[in-house]
Amino acid sequence: MNADPGIPVLELKGLKKHFDLSGKWYSGERKYLKAVDGIDLKVFSGETLGIVGESGCGKSTTGNVMLRLLEPTEGDILFEGENIASLSVRELRKRRKDFQMIFQDPFSSLNPRMRVMDLIAEPLRSHNILSGDQLRRRVTELMDNVGLSSSFITRYPHEFSGGQRQRIGIARALALQPKLIVCDEVVSALDVSIQAQILNLLARLQREFNLTYIFISHGLPAVKHFSTRVAVMYLGKIVELAKKEQLFRHPRHPYTEALLSAVPIPDPAVARDRKRIVLDGDIPSPVNLPAGCRFHTRCMYAQEKCRVAEPVLTEQQDGHQVACHFPLAQPAGPVVVTA
């Protein structure tokens, strides 16, 4: 853990990722898909930062860019104060052991032709850390950490269930003893009962190894259960950032309010009293973004200022940040999200 908890493990400054859709030989006005369009974010040691939003908002691209699995178009990525966005491939390779990713699909992220032993050992071999009997002992130790029997060490991925495959992916991410792990939709492809097991496993590993997580998900109950702070994304921008309790109890951005209202509630009495907010229209294209606030085309509270001026993410109170010209004073109705 950092000696000073105020020093972020990871800091993003003006991070952008634009995809050129024009083609290599196109000579006219180029078109860009602005998947990530200017993000400033800090992640602190030992916390879990949740990133939520609708499909296509740029949250998974953000996770890939911050680890340089995709190259940023613009901006700085400071890991423990070092700008990894400017590192060469060789320099970045040395740094990679400090940050890892657990992918969404536990099957496609594992090579089907490799046994469990080789899948988990691959990062250790790649960095020339262990070999021989020491390597095998380390792999069995990692399997034990994630709740897998060492008798599975010679099996192939297709011989496991989805939850077991995800445990293999987690063991592989832990192999190099990283400081930061990006969890990209790690439970969305699993059954509900298995989701709880994986989330509880990740929480235990965080306590045991002092891990820092970035938890990317569109499932608000999982985010509420697992995260410390939550960032809400819309069309490549962070529109709200707050501690978990603040955000779920008192959302300040209309988009966050709408997301929370869409989560099913198992208690019929509570569900009847809650106001369901239905957003009109489709999400604008990230290629042709609207002027002003990107959410104004679907916002029931939009005013003229929202159509011409883009709001800046600013702190309202107690670390609660929101990018809205007219932040909500109070929830429109009871905000209840079950974990």
**pLDDT tens-digit map of 118-148:** 999 999 999 999 889 999 999 999 999 999 9
Q: What are phi and psi of 263, to 5 degrees?
A: -75, 125
Q: What's residue 271's pLDDT? A: 63
DSSP 58: S
CA distance 245 to 224: 8
Q: What is the pTM of this model?
A: 0.90
CA neighbor of 240 nearest in space, from 334, 311, 309, 289: 311
**Tokens standing for residue 194:** 């298995």
DSSP 275: P
Residue-by-residue pLDDT tens, the chain, 339 positions: 343 456 899 999 999 999 999 877 777 788 999 999 999 999 999 999 999 999 889 999 999 999 999 999 999 999 999 999 999 999 999 999 999 999 988 888 899 999 999 999 999 999 999 889 999 999 999 999 999 999 999 999 999 999 999 999 999 999 999 999 999 999 988 888 899 999 999 999 999 999 999 999 988 989 998 999 999 999 999 999 999 999 999 999 999 999 998 887 776 766 667 777 888 878 899 999 999 999 999 999 999 999 999 999 999 878 899 999 999 986 544 455 555
Q: What's residue 5's pLDDT? A: 53
> Residues near 89 by Cβ (< 8 Å), separated by ≥ 6?
none
Q: What's residue 143's pLDDT? A: 97
Q: What's residue 195's pLDDT? A: 92
Residues 296-339 pLDDT 10s: 999 999 999 999 999 999 998 788 999 999 999 865 444 555 55
Q: What are phi and psi of 150, to 5 degrees?
A: -65, -15
What sign does the CA torsion over 104, 335, 204, 4 have? positive
CA distance 339 to 327: 26
Q: What's residue 2's pLDDT? A: 41
CA distance 258 to 263: 9
Q: What's residue 330's pLDDT? A: 60
HSE at residue 303, side-chain half, CA atoms within 13 A, is 6
Amino acid sitting at position 47: E
**Tokens standing for residue 174:** 């832990």
CA distance 286 to 26: 20
**H-type alpha helices, 146-182:** 162-174
Please say whether the beta carbons of 220 and 227 come within 8 A: no
Q: What's residue 1's pLDDT? A: 39
